[in-house]
Structure 1
Amino acid sequence: MNEMRIGIIGLGNMGTGHAQYLAKGQVKNGVLTAVCDDRQERLEWARKELGEQVKTFANVEEFLGSGAIDGVIVATPHYSHPELAIKAFAYGLHVLIEKPAGVYTKQVREMNEAAAASGKVFGIMYNQRSNPLYRKLRDLIISGELGEVRRTNWIVTNWYRSQSYYNSGGWRATWAGEGGGVLINQDPHQLDLWGWTTGLKPKRMRAFCQFGKNRDIEVENDVTAYVEYENGATGVFVTSTTDAPGTNRFEVSGDRGKIVIEDGKLTFWRLRVPESEFNATFTGGFGQPECWKCEVPIQSGNGEQQHAAITQDWVNAVVKGTPLLAPGEEGINGLMLSNAMLLSTWTDNWVDFPIDEELFYAKLQEQIRQSKTTKVAGEYQTLNVQGTH
């Protein structure tokens, strides 16, 4: 295959963005040939803006079986990601899903199994993996430059959302419509990067989620979580949509110093000798290792370029057989962290990894049954093809 024909399901904000950069030819060897949405106004937009060469479909089955595409980008509401991906695999198509991978890990695990059985290329739109800032952090940790990781602290509270934002759509911030709040809507990139950059595997977690804090919503919008890793390290994750101004600071401490990402900069406080070595040899009283503050130069790309970069990476994997930067199977990792935070809160207890997926699913269903948008729940858990907003 020298050229990959790409279709998009869902023409909301994200799907529209993908369509625009594909139509501009920003993905080499990738051409947009079809789109699918059940809203006629979005299909009319596609016909006007994307040209006659891009076919339009209102029906998912017709779209997937049209023979017009080799792969599909799924940009629909959260609940439908796994279901649509599984159907696409059944039609012999490659798949790139928007984040999050889904709402609950049981559903995502079924999608991963379908992907493996299909033999097709499966990616996820973790565009922040293409951000040079986090790629450098991963490099410094995985290469051993930081030494063994001992502690992680991420404060990401710059997701401010007003009540009017939540009121803009009946599905927003509801268990039936979105399946969660800040963890499932705003934080999937951070939850993915947390494990991807550090290489750490969580052992157990205790979290405290607040639901509808200072907002009239059903879901979590303020979270503090504590995690213990298999190597003995610990971590704290704090997130909120009500802090103004908010903070986005990721600090990782290791045997050879600490790295901080904040305000688009990466700073490495590098110890001249590892702390473990200093501690074993130092005979004084209040001394500590000599430390150098190093500003590591980083050139970040903009958000659109990062999205196009992941799509390009997916196309390269199909056309050239290169490895994926963001394999779709890895979407379950960040989702398990958010599921664990909610489950810990609902059970008021520690949660071990891997989590009890059946218990989480049962607890989620309890929330959905009490949701104000039960009608939306039925629609969103079937093959709804409207785009995310």
Structure 2
Amino acid sequence: MSQVRYGIIGIGNMGSGHASILTSGKINGAVLTAVCDEFESKRDWAKEHFGGSVAVFENADAMIDSGLVDAVIVATPHYGHPSEAIAAFAKGMHVLIEKPAGVYAKQVREMNDAAAASGRKFGIVYNQRMNPLYKKLRELIASGEIGEVRRINWIITNWYRTQAYYDSGTWRATWAGEGGGVLINQCPHQLDLWQWTTGMMPTRMRAFCQFGKHRDIEVENDVTAYAEYANGATAVFITSTSDAPGTNRLEVSGSRGKIVIEEERMTLYRLREDEAEFNARNKESFASPEVWKIELPASGPSPEHAGILQNFTDAVLLGTPLAAPGEEGIHGLTLSNAMHLSTWLDDWVDLPLDEALHEAELNKRIATSKFKRAQPVEAKR
């Protein structure tokens, strides 16, 4: 195979974005050969936009059975990601899914099993893994630069969304249509980076999700979560869609210092010696370890979605390791599922998560959701 022939399932905002990148010629070894969408208006747009150079289908089965594609990009609404991926694996496709991996961990685990059985490449569009800032953070933590991780604080409240945004689709911000709010729609990248950069998953969590705070919606749009780890570390994660202006600040503190990322800049606060060693030898009441503040230089722009597409193409053609394996989508989703479940039960939740209990509680909300699916749901973010 000299090039990967891509087909896109769902050409709303995200799908059309991938199509634009693929048809730009920026991705070596990749070509867009087909798209599909349940919406006639989207199919008409594709026919007009691509001028006949890309085949247009009504559904994924017809597109895949045409023999025109080697890999699919799944850009449908959240609930459809696992089912579309599983069907594509069954037909021998390589699969790249949009975030989130799904809505609840059980369906994502089934998708992961199908991927493993297929022997095909499986990736997820965690484009922030391509960001030099977070790649550097992961490298510094893994190398032991700040010692053992002790505390993680992330305030990510710059997801401002108006009522007009929520009113733009009947499926939006509903349990039945979207499966959640800020945790499932806006924050999957941060939930992934939280555990990917630190290499740690919590052992238990207590969360407080506020549903419809300052907005007429039924899902969460303001969250404060507290997590604990096996090594004694703790984490606080705060997010909202109604803060103006918002904040995006990540701090990771360890026994040898702290890393702060804010406003696209990274600052390293490096202790001259490990805090535990300093504490053991110190005899002064109000002494503190010597600390060096280092502003780390920018590492260049992030390739974002194009970077993920190039990496996935290289994985198919050359066997290049995936930057964002699809199987890892379950980790960030587990964090959001745990936050929901903790709030619903008004209690601590242990990890690994009781996935059956989470699904049962989610189904209770779906049963009373305002959204009732009467027509295809258009994929937008």
* TM category, shorter: over 0.9
Listed as ranges, the matches of 1:114-263 within 5 Å are: 114-263=114-263
Distance 2:366 2:301 in 1: 39
Provide the C-alpha distance between the structure 2 equivalents of 1:50 and 1:139, rounded to a whole number of angstroms.
41
Q: Distance in 2 between matches of 1:7 and 1:340?
A: 34
Residue 379 of structure 2 is matched in structure 1 by: 387
Which residue in 2 is equivalent to 1:333? 331
For residue 14 of structure 2, give the secondary structure of its aligned residue in structure 1. helix
Give yes or no for contact 1:78–1:178 (8 Å, CA) kept in 2.
yes
**Equivalent residue number for residue 32 of structure 1:** 32
TM-score, normalisation: structure 2:
0.98
User: How many residues align structurally?
Assistant: 381
Task: Check conservation: 1:11, 1:388, Cα contact below 8 A.
Answer: no
Looking at structure 1, the residues matched to 209 and 236 of structure 2 have their Cα atoms a distance apart, in angstroms, of 13
Which residue does the alignment assign to 1:364? 362
Whichever residue aligns with residue 321 of structure 1, its letter is G
AA matched with 1:387 = A
Separation of aligned partners in 2, 1:19 and 1:39? 17
Query: Is the Cα contact below 8 Å between 1:14 and 1:75 reproduced in 2?
Result: yes
Q: In the alignment, which residue of structure 2 is the partner of 1:308?
A: 306
CA distance in 1, matches of 2:362, 2:314: 37
Q: 1:42 Cα shift?
A: 1.8
CA distance in 1, matches of 2:306, 2:56: 22
- Paired with 1:103 and 1:338, the residues of 2 have a C-alpha distance of 9
Q: Distance in 1 between matches of 2:325 and 2:181?
A: 24
* Offset of residue 153 of structure 1: 0.3
How far does residue 299 in structure 1 lie from its aligned partner after superposition?
A: 3.2
Amino acid at match of 2:192: D
Q: Report the Cα offset of residue 385 of structure 1.
A: 7.7
1:324 aligns with 2:349: no
User: In 2, distance between residues paired with 1:26 and 1:385?
Assistant: 30
Letter in 2 for 1:173: A
Q: Is the 8 A contact 1:141 1:198 kept in 2?
A: yes
Q: Give matches, 1:20-169, under 5 Å.
A: 20-169=20-169
- Quick one: which amino acid aligns to residue 25 of structure 2? G
CA 1:123–1:385 in 2, change beyond 3 Å: closer, same or farther? farther
Please give the alpha-carbon distance, in whole angstroms, between the structure 2 residues aligned to 1:187 and 1:311.
Answer: 21
For residues 171-198 of structure 1, what are the alpha-carbon distances to aligned partners after superposition, in whole Å with 9 as ceiling and x for unaligned? 1100011000000000000000000001
Distance in 2 of aligned mates of 1:263 and 1:385: 35
User: Which letter does structure 1 place at the counterpart of 2:320?
Assistant: T
**Preserved CA contact (<8 Å) 2:171 2:377:** no
Counterparts of 1:306 and 1:209, CA distance in 2: 29
SS in 2 for 1:21: helix
**Percent identity over paired residues:** 64
Which residue of the partner structure matches residue 352 of structure 2? Answer: 354
Query: Residue 136 of structure 1 aligns to a residue in which SS?
Result: helix
Q: Which 5+ residue runs of structure 2 have no aligned equivalent?
A: none
SS state of the match for residue 26, structure 1? coil
Contact 1:133 1:265 in 2 (8 A): yes
Q: Is the alpha carbon distance of 1:65 and 1:23 closer, same or farther for their aligned partners in structure 2, counting shifts above 3 Å?
A: same
CA distance in 1, matches of 2:201, 2:38: 41
How do 1:279-294 residues align onto structure 2 when only pairs under 5 Å count?
279-294=279-294
Aligned AA (2:317): V
Structure 1 gaps, min length 5: none
Cα distance in 1, alignment partners of residues 201 and 181 from structure 2: 24
Q: Secondary structure at the match of 2:183?
A: helix
The worse-fitting range, judged by mean Cα deviation, of 327-336 and 292-301 is 292-301
* Aligned pairs for 1:265-276 within 5 A: 265-276=265-276
Question: How far apart are 1:386 and its partner, in Å?
Answer: 4.3
Supply the distance in 2 between the matched residues of 1:18 and 1:202 (Cα, whole angstroms): 33
What is the aligned-residue RMSD (CA, Å)? 1.2
Shift of the alpha carbon at 1:300?
4.3
Q: Any idea what the Cα deviations from partners look like across 1:99-158, whole Å, max 9, x if unmatched?
A: 000000000000000000000000000000000010111111011111110000000011
Q: CA deviation at 1:48?
A: 2.5
**Is the Cα contact below 8 Å between 1:149 and 1:254 reproduced in 2?**
yes
Cα distance in 2, alignment partners of residues 316 and 388 from structure 1: 28
Name the SS of the counterpart of 1:375 in structure 2. Answer: coil
Structure 2 Cα separation of the partners of residues 197 and 86 of structure 1: 28
In 2, Cα distance between the equivalents of 1:358 and 1:374? 23
Q: Secondary structure at the match of 1:363?
A: helix
Structure with more relative contact order (C-alpha pairs < 8 Å, separation 6 or more): 1
Q: What SS does the corresponding residue of 2:77 show, helix, strand or coil?
A: coil
The alpha-carbon distance between structure 1 residues 360 and 375, as it changes in their structure 2 partners (threshold 3 A), is same
Aligned pair in 2 of structure 1 residues 312, 180: CA closer, same or farther (>3 Å)? same
In the alignment, is the contact (CA less than 8 A) between 1:211 and 1:217 conserved in 2? yes
Q: Taking structure 1 as reference, are residues 66 and 75 closer, same or farther at Cα in structure 2, changes over 3 Å only?
A: same
